A = this chain, B = another copy of it.
Amino acid sequence: MFRESIYHRPKDNYAYACTNDRLHIRIRTKKNDIVQVKLVYGDPYEWIHENWVQHEKDMFKRGSDDLFDYWQVEISPPYRRIRYGFLLDDGTDRLFFGEKGFFDKIIDDPASYFCFPFLNPADVFRAPEWVKNTVWYQIFPERFANGNRDNDPENTLPWGSQEPSPDNFFGGDLEGVIQKLNYLQELGVNGIYFTPIFKAFSNHKYDTIDYMEIDPQFGDKDTLHRLIEACHERGIRVMLDAVFNHSGYYFQPFQDVLKNGEQSRYKDWFHIREFPLRLQPKPNYDTFAFVHTMPKLNTENPEVKEYLLEVGRYWVREFDIDGWRLDVANEVDHAFWREFRKAVKSIKPELYILGEIWHDSMPWLRGDQFDAVMNYPFTTNILNLYARGNLTPKQFVEQMNTILFMYPDQINQVLFNLVGSHDTPRILSECNGDVRKVKQIFTFLLTFIGTPCIYYGDEIGMTGREDPGCRKCMEWNRDQQNRDLFHHIQHLIALRNNYPLLGNEGELTFIQPAHDDENWIAFVKKREGDQALVVLNPSDHVTDFQLPDEFCTSPLTNLITG
């Protein structure tokens, strides 16, 4: 037995409450090393005649990646407390594994076991229920639709007349979104994520000038009210983008510091290493990256904190928004996000809090900070298989399992799954214009767990390399739209809504290809009495796929063809 490969540590993704009375326990073992794992557990205080009362339950191998097998089991401890360990069998040896290490046999002292001390409801990770049933649409407002010519910025270019550049403007606005809600409803999405709409200098608006005002190029507060009301009437949720890591250059407090230096009353609103301020070549104050026009906000300063928390509260309270997407979320302190969560959830408990984090995000997903993060590891894996072709289906599945077992199940159900955004090349361009691949990618995205998001225009086959290329004006000319792709995605969304097993219902398991030359990806979702199978062939040629036994005994319905 490869003892050094066995990993478990209580809490996080290895032992967590999934509801108020159920716990999931997982353990990671070297791939193909262990044939059976039993959980040995009991209430630490339950003794009969000086013997600790123990129970056993089989764990099941839920998936594997390139190096490891992941085992899982669910239990409901009657008194909400347990001590537990693992009985591991590799076919030759049987070892017990607990907090104090490995033992030849099951031991009877709960002090040597792992501890999940108490299942307190306050600590159970809980995201809003509606998120699981949402299909998002990401809108970059300057480029989606121009509904009102009167608020066009100076030098606005005719819609789509030029390639997007870092500083050109095409007049997209909120009125335009209102006018296109029928289109979104036709597509079937029921959530919109807007990149920033507050007053800012650039076309992307990530350089906020005033967090309490709508950018006049996009409309005003009345427009936003009308937009959100119109969305809610149609059952569409609205998520705004909070850029709290840094402000823009023209944010009044930063201008004050630029003007008054050390005398500015705002000097502690930022992280200034020395005065006078130097902007070039590297600023002598903290910034987003080394961008001197994006000074990092000092979120530990009580004044800044209260200002930003009020921003967070204001748009929820006054505009009834449904979500906050947090830009560069992992560079802001955890302490701030804990306060932020309390502040906004106290107004609207069902608000969705989504952090932009590209890496492993467990430290932000413990129930006290975010509900989810943007699932870029998911994106990368999809691109590696379909666009870059540097993975086999077997490796793709393994990598997807690495991602799945990185978090608790209920987090996976609300992770913001995307295949492109304003920060990445468009999916069709990544696939070198191969629409078949894009169709398959959306099939995967829209039948997988998580809360999927479509970047505006991807559904009609728009192209574009990285920023600014991916920020073209939305193509509204139907003749220029790939309607076939649109209908494919529309169909998938409808299927996802009609068949909960294609969404977040049931338990997901990949069928793992045994060899690198197998050209299929397949996963099953099961719940009592019902199961769904999704099979994809990511290759260019016909391939064989052996239907699992459990699908051979009863009639199958092909959900795509009906």
What is A's interface to B at a CB cutoff of 8 Å?
2-5, 7, 9-12, 30-31, 44-46, 66-68, 79-81, 99-101, 111, 114-115, 117-118, 120-123, 286, 289-290, 299-300, 330-336, 338, 357-360, 362-363, 368, 380, 402
**A358 nearest in chain B by CB position:** B111
Which residue of B45, B67, B115, B120 contacts A300 across the interface (Cβ within 8 Å)? B120
Known: A99-B359, A99-B360, A338-B368. A300 touches B122 (CB 8 A): yes
Q: Are A360 and B122 in contact (CB under 8 A)?
A: no
Residues in B whose Cβ lies below 8 Å from that of A118:
330-333
Q: Is the CB of A360 within 8 A of B4?
A: no
A361, closest chain B residue (CB): B115
Complex Cα distance, B46 from A334, in Å, reads 24
Other-chain residue from B9, B30, B31, B331 in contact with A360 (beta carbon distance below 8 A): B9
Partner of A336, one of B10, B11, B30, B122: B122
Check B290–A45 contact: CB distance below 8 A. Answer: yes
Chain B residue nearest in CB terms to A384: B100
Tell which of B66, B79, B336, B368 touches A286, judged by Cβ atoms closer than 8 Å.
B79
| CB closest residue in chain B, given A67 | B4
Q: What residues of chain B lie closer than 8 Å to A9, measured between beta carbons?
A: 360, 362
Sample of 7 further A-B pairs with CB below 8 A, known A4-B4, A114-B360: A66-B101, A100-B380, A114-B359, A115-B360, A118-B330, A118-B332, A120-B299
User: Which residues of B sit under 8 angstroms from A300, Cβ to Cβ?
Assistant: 120-122
Minimum CB–CB distance from A362 to chain B (whole Å) comes to: 8
Can you offer 8 A-B residue contacts whose CB atoms are under 8 A?
A4-B5, A5-B5, A46-B290, A79-B286, A120-B334, A122-B334, A122-B336, A335-B368
User: A123 and B81 in contact (CB under 8 A), knowing A2-B4, A5-B4?
Assistant: no
Interchain CA distance A338-B300 in the complex, whole Å: 17
Q: Which residues of B contact A111 (CB under 8 A)?
A: 358-359, 380
**Highest count of chain B CB atoms <10 Å: which of A3, A99, A117, A290:** A117
State whether A333 and B5 are in contact (beta carbons under 8 Å apart), knowing that A115-B359, A359-B99, A363-B11 are contacts in the complex: no
Closest to A113 in B: B359
Give the complex CA separation of A99 and B3 in angstroms: 22
Min CB distance A80 to B, Å, is: 7
A367 to chain B, nearest CB (A): 8
Looking across the interface, which residue of chain B has its beta carbon closest to that of A31?
B4
* Residue in B closest to A46 when the chains form the complex, CB atoms: B290
Contacts of A358 in B (CB 8 A): 111, 115
Return the 6 tightest CB-CB contacts between A and B, nearest first.
Answer: A120-B333, A4-B5, A117-B330, A45-B289, A115-B359, A118-B331
Q: Which residues of B contact A330 (CB under 8 A)?
A: 115, 117-118
Report Cα–Cα, A46/B281, bound state, in Å: 12
A260 to B68, CA, bound (A): 56
Partner of A368, one of B334, B359, B380: B334
Expressed in whole angstroms, the minimum distance between the Cβ of A402 and any Cβ of chain B is 8
Given contacts A115-B359, A330-B118, contact A68 B4 (CB under 8 A): yes
Q: Are A123 and B79 interface neighbours, CB within 8 A?
A: no
Alpha-carbon distance between A100 and B391 when the two chains are bound, in angstroms: 13
Roughly how many angstroms separate A380 CA and B368 CA in the complex, as a whole number?
A: 33
Least CB separation from A4: chain B residue: B5
- Across the interface, which residues of B come within 8 angstroms of A359, CB to CB? 10, 99, 111, 114-115, 117
Kindly state the separation between the CA atoms of A67 and B5 in the bound complex, as whole angstroms: 10
On chain B, the residues within 8 Å of A286 by CB distance are: 79-80
Interface contact B331-A81, CB-CB below 8 Å: yes
Complex Cα–Cα for A54 and B100 (A): 39
A363 to B363, CA, bound (A): 10
What chain B residues lie within 8 Å of A3 (beta carbons)? Answer: 67
CB distance from A79 to the nearest CB of B (A): 7
Pick from B12, B81, B331, B362: contact of A117, CB below 8 A.
Answer: B331
**Nearest chain-B residue to A363 (Cβ)?**
B11
Q: Which residue of B lies closest to A290 (CB)?
A: B45
In the bound complex, what is the Cα–Cα distance between A107 and B219 (angstroms)? 46
Closest Cβ of chain B to A271, distance in Å, is: 9
Chain B nearest CB, measured from A5 CB (Å): 4
Q: Which chain B positions have C-beta within 8 A of A99?
A: 359-360
Residues A120 and B338 in contact in the complex (CB < 8 Å), given A3-B67, A99-B360, A380-B111:
no
